[in-house]
A and B are shown apart, each in its own frame.
Chain A
Amino acid sequence: MKKSSILLNGLIKENPVLVLVLGTCPTLAVTTMAINALGMGAATIFVLTFSNLVISLLRNVIPNTVRIPCYIVVISTFVTIVGLVMQAYLPAIYSALGVFLPLIVVNCIILGRAEMFASKNTPLDSTLDGIGMGLGFTLTLFIMASIREILGFGTFLGFDITFGVLKPLSILSQAPGGFFVFGVLMALSVFVQRKMGKKEIKTEISCEACGLCKDKTACDGCKNREEAAQ
């Protein structure tokens, strides 16, 4: 595969949030303000890139049966590093992200890419994949957070843009707004994919999201995929 296509894959074609449907929890939780989305995106890019690199370097060393715990240790090490750095230099974003910063450990995107890509590819490709996927995640989060911030608070990156004329729809900045905006964005993404003539459009939570899915009958997403594969 061409290096540039690995990098660009994650941005649009295999956008982790809208196309692969991974990492829904942080997508909903931190997108109240555009600046928080950028902070979360930066943290995820860092963790994703370095964990992909390290896991790819170790891919021939890690025994297959204990690979998931090994991945989790690598990932949580980088999450701890990024948490300490953010606490020191970006305390405002650190407290805004709150518990969702340590929760990057269980972010399905990172474990999913480790399992799907980094464990099978060379370190350079894995690093590029990490950067691309991280950028795709950040881009989606930023778009969603911009919509919610502009409509919910009437501000963009902290600047007032309503000029006192319009009243913000505060429900969009609260929990229901997260679900709603995400649903509409996803419908838009499905619409665009359909118009582009893509056959297989994912509109269920993916199996990679579970990471440890052993029994394929437990979740309907896996079952549907199994049936489709047969």
Chain B
Amino acid sequence: MKELLIIFFTAIITQNVVLSRFMGICPFLGVSNKTKSAVGMGFAVTAVLVLATLVTYPISNLILIPNGLSFLNTIIFILVIASFVQMLEMFLRKFIPPLYSALGIYLPLITTNCAVLGITLINIEDFSTMAQLPHALVNALGAGIGFLMAMVIFSGVRTRLSSKKIPESFKGLPITLVAAAIVAISFMGFSGVIDGIFGAESSGFPFIVG
């Protein structure tokens, strides 16, 4: 249980998928203009990340690795994720229309979001057996929530930025990137927190990759 908690908080804070792993930068910069769309995108990514892990982890561990086909990981994963996202979109539109109108419009953008493919691939590298499926799922959930958190915080920063006078050349993306740097610095401040809460031995976990 403690292990799962460590994975969860590491994925949210110290190994934040956007601010320290640099995945999913496109939606992070593109959809964070308004808090509402940032929240929608964040939840959609979280849902897809967890469900995609639930699908790809067994495929890799039960089919690809036992047959020596692990070099096909990338191709299989991206196809599975693409078709899965399409199915999820159709399912939501048919059966849960309110959820579709809240999250559905972000779903097509997620297929090419590198956070989804990246986290599913990292899960395969970091966890190796079928028994570690909960670990992989918790890691995916943490990454998704970390993404959501970064999006929401950053949309607040951007709202403040939009009312400020900015040098002509820095308008738009450049100042957004500089602001993202400052948010990333604030996340670096969390680096000792996991050790502090769970004891120093937690920092030696193999899945906390630099």
Residues of A within 8 A of B (CB): 21, 24-25, 28-29, 68-69, 72-73, 76-77, 79-80, 83-84, 98-100, 102-103, 105-108, 111, 171, 174-180, 182-184, 186-188, 190-191, 194, 203-205, 209-215, 217-221
Q: Please, which residues of chain B bring their CB within 8 A of the CB of A190?
A: 169-172, 174
Chain B contacts with A in 135-177, Cβ cutoff 8 A: 167-177
Among B22, B171, B176, the one with the most A-chain Cβ atoms within 10 Å of its Cβ is B22
- Tell me how many residue pairs across A and B have CB atoms closer than 8 Å: 164
- The stretch from B49-57, B59-67, B74-82, B196-204 touching chain A is B74-82
- Min CB distance B34 to A, Å, is 8
Name the contact of B22 in the complex, choosing from A29, A76, A203, A205 (C-beta under 8 A). Answer: A29
B42 contacts A by Cβ under 8 Å: no
Chain B contacts with A in 108-129, Cβ cutoff 8 A: 108-109, 111-114, 117-118, 121-122, 125
- Min CB distance B25 to A, Å, is 4
Closest partner residue, chain A, to B76 (CB atom): A76
What bracket does the count of chain B residues touching chain A fall in?
A: 35 or more
Name the contact of B25 in the complex, choosing from A24, A84, A191, A204 (C-beta under 8 A). Answer: A24
Name the contact of A187 in the complex, choosing from B105, B125, B170, B188 (C-beta under 8 A). Answer: B170
Name the contact of A102 in the complex, choosing from B21, B112, B117, B171 (C-beta under 8 A). Answer: B117
Name the contact of A80 in the complex, choosing from B74, B105, B111, B114 (C-beta under 8 A). Answer: B74
A–B pairs, 24, beta carbons within 8 Å: A24-B25, A25-B23, A25-B26, A77-B75, A98-B209, A99-B118, A102-B73, A102-B74, A102-B117, A103-B23, A106-B78, A176-B188, A177-B181, A178-B22, A180-B181, A183-B174, A183-B176, A184-B178, A187-B167, A190-B171, A190-B174, A191-B169, A210-B30, A213-B108
